[in-house]
Amino acid sequence: MSDPVDPTQGVTRIEVSVETRAPGGTTNAYLVDGLLIDPAARTAALDAAVEAGVDGIAVTHTHPDHVGAVAAYAEQTGATMFAHAAHADRFADATGVEPDATFRDGDTVGSSDLRAVETPGHAPDHVAFAVTGGAGPPRELLCGDLAVAEGSVVVGGPGSDLRAYLESLERVSDAGYDRLHPGHGPPIEDPAATCQRLIDHRLARERAVLTAVEDGASSLDAVVAAAYEKDLTGVEDLARATVRAHLEKLATEGAIDGAEIDGAEIDGFTEL
């Protein structure tokens, strides 16, 4: 489905059905000023949008549900492949395509109206793209998996960093954007409030994890059971990954002794 989110800013969203744990089972691909962002899979709707003209392709991060059709559209369009300079190898490994050009935080991506904004945490290579067209500072941000309009973002995959994720939310909130265009789900019309909701959610989960440890939980499974007072059927792996990320953050900050937690990759311990 193609959905022109904001014609005045030139942002077009195409929802792509893809294998993902995100609610709705879709990833948002975006077209802005000739740049294609996050082509998750090849679809008729995305094909039609791409036919209007694509000069470059980039991704917010290299998780599989965001990069599945990068190679196909690279071959079809001959577009310039852009990757974060510090993570070009990850881009090549995930997409099967070597980048033609790189960018860093604050750079304009090619000749487009998009500027890179580093937002690590959900993934180490995560980046957002601010829409710079028009007068004044950017008011729109393609935020990838930094934020969602409803629910929360999992920060627990390989290379994720909860401290960096919270800092990225604060950076985006402080920038004062009017709208965020996320990797999954509808546009976010209240960026500051949404970022604060996600920060509050993470800090509340952290307090639950810390309380569980202080009350004697000494294994990853025990902390998960104590920190989540709800049925985790179908999402146990996500809960374990989330708790592990919180434990790593708490251990790094000296709030807990990582050696007290058995079965979590904390301070060199072996992951279950």
Which residues have a Cβ under 8 Å from the Cβ of 8 and sit 6 or more positions away?
none
| Amino acid occupying residue 158 | P
| Structure-block tokens of residue 214 | 């202080």
First CA to last CA across the chain, in angstroms? 40
| Structure-block tokens of residue 171 | 């950076």
Which residues have a Cβ under 8 Å from the Cβ of 122 and sit 6 or more positions away?
61, 144, 145, 146, 153, 154, 155, 157, 160, 165
SS3 assignment, position 130: strand
Q: What is the DSSP letter of 150?
A: S
Q: DSSP of 168-222, one letter per residue?
A: HHHHHHHHT-SEEEESSSS-BS-HHHHHHHHHHHHHHHHHHHHHHHHTT--BHHH
Task: Name the nearest CA neighbour of 40 among 60, 18, 25, 57.
Answer: 18
R_g of the chain, CA atoms, integer Å: 19
Active-site residues, by number, are 65
